[in-house]
Amino acid sequence: MFQKTGLPVSSGIAIAKAVILDSEMHQIPKRFISQSLCDSEVDRATYAFEMAIAELLKLETDCQQLKSGEVRDLFSVHRHFLKDQSLRDKVTQRIRQDCVTAEYAVSVEMQLLHQHFSKVPDLYMRERAADISDMEKRLLGHLIDLKKSAIEHVTEEVVIVAKELHPTETAAFDPRFVKGIVCDTGGATGHASIVARAMGIPAVMAVGNLTERIRRGDTLIVDGDNGLVIANPDGETLARFRAIQEKSIAAQVSLAAIEIRPSVTLDGVPISLLANIEFPSDKDAVLEAGAQGVGLFRTEFLYLQSGIEPTEEDHYEAYIQVVKALNGCPVTIRTMDLGADKFTQSHRFLPETNPFLGLRSIRFSFKHRDMFVAQLRAILRVSAIGPVKVMFPLISGVREIQLAKEILASVKNDLDKAGQAYDPQIPVGMMIEVPSAALLSARFAQYVDFFSIGSNDLTQYALAVDRGNAQVADLFSSFDPSVLQLIQMTVAGAATTGIDVSICGEMASEPSFVMLLLGMGIRALSLSPSMISEVRQTVRGVSIVQCQDLVKEVFRMDNAGDIQMYLQQHLQSLTLRDLDQS
């Protein structure tokens, strides 16, 4: 028996035999062809693109049963990406100029894109590199004979073990048989993780070299709540986790009754449960989860789904879908949160030696005001339709929020002159993602109407740890006392002017963390729609007084491991009977 830890990305306990999945891409040899064959190779490439697009459209339709806008839009984004003429033109150009086969041209161009995404400073965007590999494999499947996946023949309960999983591979799993997923690499915001959560399959990513130590048929325990993988457990361990699994299943059954009740603590304190969304169609999941609004509407998809810069109308049409669907519930729209590396068409950039600390997010918006203004105009216009808030990312200094508000005021003035309706009192907020913002939160509170703590980036910047780097990922922990101190400081800063403060990182969806956040004074949580029912259950099973006592105890501790263990043990002490009676 041995165990490894990784990143928990989809909750639940799985116990089954291991199946090793070879998801690695194989090198396509460079084979030259005569000039006379170039036209036929271009035709082959075109055929591959069209077939891949048709497959993705079918997958998009078939996955309706998952009731996940995130998953449906994954396939939609892949389709739009493959329909992009600039990508096809590059493949055609390589075939004709280098006189090479279609499969080689496709492989080279897709690998160049993969390398490009892999170097993006933003972890969320870096994890999109797996999508590029996924699309490459799909295209090559129509050009060469790729080995069929071992999972296609599985008819018994298994745990999938792989170096890396592609998103559409994950979506093809049959949850009747695939009970758990473990990968050497990957992250919580990768699309394979998103799909696993939507399908309800417990999953742990970034476990290191597990594929080198596991053999087909080994018994695996996958703890998707704590990021634990146990291979060939002894009888006592197996019995313990089977008991936990049974308790977890029973708890899920109770969610159906709880999810329609108000999110109020045992001592009567209301807690706002909001949703994080990535695409307009996620509105369906928001409504199904009973969220009280959208706490984070990521807008990056508008810049990534095609090679053309989105217009003001593109922004407006995307936002209005969500605002109308929410029917009076607030929608917080975050302005563009990407790096300069994503804008190589109309906005050239110089390579950066340290892109994590470079031209990205609000800094990029300031440098390219035309793009920024187009987005702000759309946000303001849609605020005339329903309650909308605007939120600026990666604010690190007071002058940045001052400048952002000055630009917003200028856009308002332009709309006034044009007679365009908007909410003149639209709430303005900022993300707390870097230590400087937390340290100066009391000053920032004088300029904004609300804070939203991005716990993932705040942890990364506070601890100087790239959580996407497997070599140091074990050092990344939002349970670290320094991170908790920064959050507490932010809550105190917000209190000086009475503004609202919420949290929208992974902390908000971790039940043991939720208790701590409530005790620290957080009264609004923004999380994935799929996690709202579970967090609502936690909220209804605790009192603020209990949570405040937890905070006192936790702030006496010196390391993340002790804090995490203490909170998880306390959460487990909340019995199913207590939760049901809530």
For the question of residue 38 being annotated catalytic, the response is: no
Annotated active-site residue in 315, 504, 547, 570: 504
SS3 for 233? coil
CA Rg value for the chain:
24
Phi then psi dihedrals of residue 145, to 5 deg:
-90, 95
Which residues have C-beta within 8 Å of that of residue 510, sequence separation ≥ 6?
none
Question: 426: which 2 tokens?
Answer: 């639209």
Per DSSP, the three-state class of 429 is strand
CA–CA separation, 91 vs 84, rounded Å?
12
Q: How far apart are CA 294 and CA 244, in angstroms?
A: 33
Q: Give Cα 547 to chain centroid, integer Å.
A: 27
Give the strands of the sheet with 203-205, arranged side by side: 2-5, 228-231, 219-223, 13-21, 158-162, 178-183, 203-205, 7-10
Distance (Å, whole) CA 430 – CA 390? 8
Q: Which two tokens stand for residue 239?
A: 């019995």
Contacts of 54 (CB under 8 A, 6+ apart): none
Report how far residue 432's alpha carbon sits from residue 525's, in angstroms, rounded to the nearest whole number: 14
CB 537 within 8 A of CB 254: yes
CB 163 within 8 A of CB 24: yes
Pair type for strands 428-432 and 450-453? parallel
Sorted by sequence, the CB contacts under 8 Å of residue 344 that are 6+ apart come out as none
Q: Report the C-alpha gap between 320 and 379 in whole angstroms.
A: 9
Distance from C-alpha of 554 to C-alpha of 238, rounded to nearest angstrom: 31
3-state DSSP call for residue 267?
A: coil
Tokens coding 363: 């800094």
Q: What is the maximal distance between C-alpha atoms in the chain? A: 79
21 three-state secondary structure = strand
CA angle 8, 148, 110 (to 5 degrees): 70
Residues 6+ apart with CB under 8 A from 555: 481, 484, 488
Active-site pick, 191, 315, 329, 547: 191
Structure-block tokens of residue 236: 């006592």
DSSP H or E run through 450 = strand 450-453
315 is catalytic: no
Q: Are 310 and 551 in contact (CB under 8 A)?
A: no
The residues assigned a catalytic role are 191, 504
